[in-house]
Chains A and B, each alone.
Chain A
Amino acid sequence: MTAAYALRDSTTMLRRNLRHLQRYPALSLFPILMPVVFLLLFVYVFGGTLGNGLAGGGGRGAYVNFLTPGMLLFTVATAAQGTAISVAKDMTEGIIARFKTMRIWQPSVLAGHVLGSLLLTLISLAVVIAVALLIGFHPTAAPVDWLAAIGLLLLLAIALIWLSVALGLTAKSVETASNTPMILILLPFLGSGFVPVKSMPAGLRWFAENQPFTPITDTLRSLLRHHHVGSTGTTAIAWCLAITAAAYLWARYLYNRRPAH
């Protein structure tokens, strides 16, 4: 049974993908630097004005605390985008035919990408949280809130990475693969991540209130402020699990269907 090799083959593929990240810094530094640049941009350029528009005002200092949870979602989405590119790159090259004709646990090819991206996501989350703390982010979360917050971010990361794997598998070229997941990066903006949903015009507001990123942002924000989470937490987790399940099945179907070349 090839499933007996699941762990071993996945570790091998993970090692391969980590080496890729090391040899191809453009792909590994981008998801770390881009959220940091956006964080600084939003806090120092827009933050003074946006902060005054929050309920209760408070300027730049209040805005850092409002923005950081949304920024963490943006970080997860940015890292997932790289997954689509590296999956598409693999699929357009001959090596995939080699993997498919070997007696290995076939899902390990995709699992290697997922695990590699997950590690990269954790590193960029740590960097973004550190920078946020340096520029005035002041969470009041208890350790258990932190654990829950990290758990939720991981669930989201797994969901978006699998979705990116599927998008990478549908792409005919590496260029397409780098464009399609752009929508994932835009979604945090069209939700409660950067400004309160209440300030949006009616149609957009309806979309913002009902898209998956909003309950996840709200849950994260409550956790980091040590507030009661309530039913939004359940909605947030349900979205993550639903996206993961659908994306995983889609990716598996695409991987098995697609002949090499």
Chain B
Amino acid sequence: MSGLRKSFGEHVVLNGIDFAVAPATVFALLGPNGSGKTTTVNILATLLSPDAGEVRVDGHDVARDADAVRDVIGLTGQFSAIDELLTGRENLALMADLHHLARIDAQRRTDELLERFDLLDAADRTAATYSGGMRRRLDLAMTLIGAPRIMFLDEPTTGLDPRSRRTMWEIIRGLVSDGTTVFLTTQYLEEADQLADHVAILDGGRLVAQGTPAELKARVPGGHIELTFADPAAYRAATGILHAPARAEDALTLQVATDGNVATLRRVLRELDDADVDVDSLSIHTPDLDDVFFALTGRPAASEPDREHEEASR
């Protein structure tokens, strides 16, 4: 895709986007709400047409040859795309019919997917009775009926509990190992970090960075130890000993830059011990995509419930 632009009226949503996705990899488009992620997916999936730029999916131009694109893609959008009045099995059968599968293949694929997504017990209940995680699994199973070579997943885990999220990650990894190309959008840095081979960060309709998660992290010197002290006296003493700038006096916390190795940690604690300064609590922060996001956009990313934070108290 190159030079993609899209506006709704006066409002410019995408302002010149370029990227390429390698086959059988996971590409994550990361960005906050309103950054243009869904618009990008909708253009790639032939729901919207671009105002300018060239967008090709599997070599086919999305604007001129939408049918050829539709032949190879599958979309699981942000909004549940299941038919609530039909049962799980009927939903899958509907998709099989619309993919023009032969009856016997349709039956086999339906049973296979119901089993793979742990929906066999609920197969004959209407989808209106399904839980959030079950809906998301049925949604994905419906997309997979047509065995798409390219999958678009728009925020596939938003609103899911941590367990369902992990199940979804396993499913996505499985798809890629079977040779499917996955294009996903997410607000969660951890998700991009866990799944993606390649990450692009979208902010205000522009790509502010792209690369492998490791490449992006290497651009940001975000590693530090965060120390919290019980009283202002200890805090001030520590700033002197560690030559750290006193930036957060009110919170009594101090950040010491580090590459994260144990020797540095030991040295810091020993120096404080030698001076009889009591540390209330300590946390080690290794650079993650959160830091990358902050460094590139000047804003913190959406909060993530289970971020990689190791906390220790004394």
Query: Does any Cβ of A come within 8 Å of B253's Cβ?
Result: no
* Residue from the list A16, A23, A95, A259 in contact with B81, Cβ < 8 A: A95
A259 & B98 in contact (Cβ 8 Å cutoff): no
With contacts A12-B97, A259-B47 taken as known, whether A103 is within 8 angstroms of B79 at the C-beta atoms is no
Question: Which of B65-73, B174-182, B301-309 forms part of the interface with chain A?
Answer: B65-73
Instruction: Pick the interface stretch among B82-90, B194-202, B282-290.
Output: B82-90
Distance in Å: Cβ of A89 to nearest Cβ of chain B: 10
Q: Is the CB of A8 within 8 A of B48?
A: no
Please tell me if the beta carbons of B75 and A8 are within 8 angstroms of each other in the complex: no
**A residues less than 8 Å from B142 (CB atoms):** 98
* A19 near B90: Cβ-Cβ < 8 Å: yes
Q: Is the beta-carbon distance between A101 and B47 smaller than 8 angstroms?
A: yes
Residues 1-51 of A at the B interface (beta carbon under 8 Å): 2, 5, 8-9, 12, 15-16, 19-20, 23-24
Contact B79 A93 (CB under 8 A): yes
A102 to B76, CA, bound (A): 12
From the candidates B70, B77, B86, name the one contacting A97 in the complex (CB within 8 A).
B77
User: With the chains together, A99 CA to B47 CA distance in Å?
Assistant: 10
Asked if B92 lies at the interface with its beta carbon under 8 angstroms from chain A, I say: no
Interface residues in A57-105 (C-beta closer than 8 Å to B): 93-95, 97-104
The dominant DSSP class at the A interface is helix
- With contact pairs A12-B97, A101-B75 given, residues A95 and B82 touching in the complex (Cβ less than 8 Å): yes
Contact with A along B78-111 (1 / 0, CB 8 A): 1111111110001000100111100000000000
User: Which B residues from 256 to 273 make CB contacts under 8 A with A?
Assistant: none
Interface hits, A104-159 → B, CB 8 Å: 104
CA distance A260 to B77 in the complex (A): 10
Whether A261 is near chain B, meaning CB under 8 Å from some CB there, is yes
A171-208 interface (Cβ within 8 A of B):
none
| Closest B residue by C-beta to A109 | B98
Q: How far is the CA of A101 from the CA of B85 in the complex (A)?
A: 21
Question: Which of B74, B85, B99, B100 lies in contact with A19, CB distance below 8 A?
Answer: B85
Pairwise interchain contact B98-A102, C-beta atoms closer than 8 A: yes
Which of B70, B83, B86 sits near A101, CB closer than 8 Å? B70
CB-nearest residue of chain B to A4: B100
From A16, A97, A102, A261, B99 is in contact (CB under 8 Å) with A102
Task: Please tell me if the beta carbons of B98 and A23 are within 8 angstroms of each other in the complex.
Answer: no
- Expressed in whole angstroms, the Cα–Cα distance for A15 and B94 within the complex equals 9
Q: How far is the CA of A98 from the CA of B100 in the complex (A)?
A: 15
Contact residue among B74, B98, B143 (Cβ-Cβ distance under 8 Å from A104): B98
Q: Decide: A20 near B146, CB < 8 A? Known: A94-B79, A100-B47.
A: no
Complex Cα gap A101–B47 (Å): 7
Known: A23-B85, A95-B83. A102 touches B146 (CB 8 A): yes
User: B86 is contacted by which of A9, A16, A99 (Cβ under 8 Å)?
Assistant: A16
Q: Are B85 and A20 in contact (CB under 8 A)?
A: yes
Given the contacts A5-B100, A103-B71, A98 and B81 also touching, CB distance less than 8 Å: yes
What residues of A have a CB within 8 angstroms of the CB of B46 in the complex? 100-101
**B164: interface (CB < 8 Å):** no
Query: How far, in angstroms, from A98 to B71 measured CA to CA in the complex?
Result: 13
Rounded to whole angstroms, the CA-CA distance of A160 and B155 in the bound complex is 40
Residue of B nearest to A17 (CB): B85
Within 8 Å CB of A20, what residues of B? 85
Given A24-B85, A95-B81, A97-B81; A103-B48 close (CB under 8 Å)? no
Interface positions, chain B 197-236, Cβ under 8 Å from A, are none
Q: Which residues of B contact A (CB under 8 A)?
A: 42, 45-48, 67, 70-71, 73-75, 77-86, 90, 94, 97-100, 126, 142-143, 146
Given contacts A12-B94, A94-B78, A94-B82, could you give 15 more A-B pairs where the C-beta distance is less than 8 Å? Answer: A12-B98, A19-B86, A23-B86, A93-B81, A93-B84, A94-B81, A95-B83, A97-B45, A98-B75, A98-B81, A100-B46, A101-B74, A103-B67, A259-B47, A261-B77
Q: 3 closest pairs, A vs B, by CB?
A: A94-B79, A94-B81, A103-B70
